[in-house]
């Protein structure tokens, strides 16, 4: 007597687009892009592939939508209180993007792809509008708005991506490596350098070991904002 493979039980309630996106983000967070397939998603949601394609389209479109959802939430972050300055607005949204990419390790690669492939998409336009919308209020001349906004955006994306998981060739990199162990090993190696040939490296070795990534990130924002005031 032969037995048929048991099919996953279909859900009775109506599946929403938001449920699909939220589940996709959970799967990406847990296992990266390789974990998110249409088949795995349908099994997780106890539904058919037709429902996925109907609500969000292909897998690539789902990845784009997941990126837009997470970035959109970060861009919606506002300073507490009613007396926020343009600098406050920039710092708050910059830190929200930093925290979003730290929380969603797959996001850095997808964010870069969106900006390169779709310059008129909601991610690219949203980031530039949210950041760039403050440079005029800082007093930056209109002729320098693009340069000022680009400098901020490039710094933010570069800094946050540096702390994210690297997609592609990761030979020699332990994705689960401990941050403190890494900096301890690096600082020990720097201390072993010739102090006469590398005086700067010896001067900062203690700072490197004990620095806080978020505080260092905000220091960079402060340096850029201070520089932008000199464009006035």
Note whether 91 and 31 are same-domain residues: no
Note whether 37 and 141 are same-domain residues: no
Note whether 136 and 32 are same-domain residues: no
Note whether 31 and 133 are same-domain residues: no
Query: End-to-end distance of the chain based on CA atoms, in angstroms?
Result: 84
Note whether 220 and 193 are same-domain residues: yes
pTM of the model: 0.80
Give which of 17, 79, 11 is closest to 44, Cα–Cα: 11
Note whether 124 and 184 are same-domain residues: yes
Number of domains in the chain: 2
Note whether 21 and 116 are same-domain residues: no
Note whether 91 and 187 are same-domain residues: yes
Note whether 212 and 183 are same-domain residues: yes
Note whether 159 and 208 are same-domain residues: yes
Q: Is residue 2 part of a domain?
A: no
- We report the CATH number of the domain holding residue 212 as 1.10.357.10
Q: Is residue 1 part of a domain?
A: no
Note whether 107 and 220 are same-domain residues: yes
Q: Is residue 79 part of a domain?
A: yes
Domain range for 28 is 9-57
- We report the CATH number of the domain holding residue 44 as 1.10.10.60
| Contact residues for 88 (Cβ-Cβ < 8 A; gap 6+) | 79
What's the pLDDT score for residue 161? 75
What's the pLDDT score for residue 186? 85
Give which of 157, 146, 149 is closest to 97, Cα–Cα: 157
Note whether 183 and 102 are same-domain residues: yes
pLDDT in tens, the chain (232 residues): 444 544 444 544 578 999 999 999 999 999 999 999 999 999 999 999 999 999 999 999 999 999 999 999 999 999 987 788 999 999 999 999 999 999 998 999 899 889 889 889 999 999 999 999 999 999 999 999 999 999 999 999 888 877 665 444 343 445 455 677 877 888 888 888 998 999 999 898 888 877 888 899 999 999 999 998 887 6
**Residue 202 CB-half CA count within 13 A:** 9
Give which of 220, 205, 206 is closest to 159, Cα–Cα: 220
């Amino acid at each position: 007597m032969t037995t048929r493979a048991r099919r996953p039980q279909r859900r009775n309630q109506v599946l929403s687009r938001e449920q699909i996106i939220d589940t996709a983000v959970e799967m990406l967070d847990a296992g990266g892009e390789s974990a998110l397939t249409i088949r795995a998603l349908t099994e997780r949601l106890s539904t058919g592939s037709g429902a996925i394609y109907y609500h969000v389209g292909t897998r690539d479109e789902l990845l784009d939508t997941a990126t837009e959802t997470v970035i959109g939430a970060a861009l919606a972050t506002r300073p507490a209180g009613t007396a926020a300055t343009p600098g406050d607005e920039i710092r708050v949204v910059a830190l929200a993007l930093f925290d979003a990419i730290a929380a969603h390790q797959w996001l850095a690669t997808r964010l870069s792809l969106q900006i390169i492939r779709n310059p008129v998409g909601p991610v690219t336009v949203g980031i530039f509008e949210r950041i760039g919308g403050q440079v005029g209020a800082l007093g930056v001349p209109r002729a320098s708005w693009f340069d000022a906004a680009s400098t901020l955006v490039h710094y933010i994306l570069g800094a946050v991506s540096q702390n994210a998981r690297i997609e592609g060739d990761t030979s020699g990199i332990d994705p689960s490596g401990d941050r403190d162990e890494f900096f301890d090993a690096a600082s020990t190696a720097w201390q072993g350098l010739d102090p006469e040939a590398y005086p700067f490296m010896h001067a900062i070795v203690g700072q490197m070991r004990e620095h806080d990534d978020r505080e260092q990130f905000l220091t960079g924002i402060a340096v850029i904002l201070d520089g932008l005031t000199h464009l006035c």
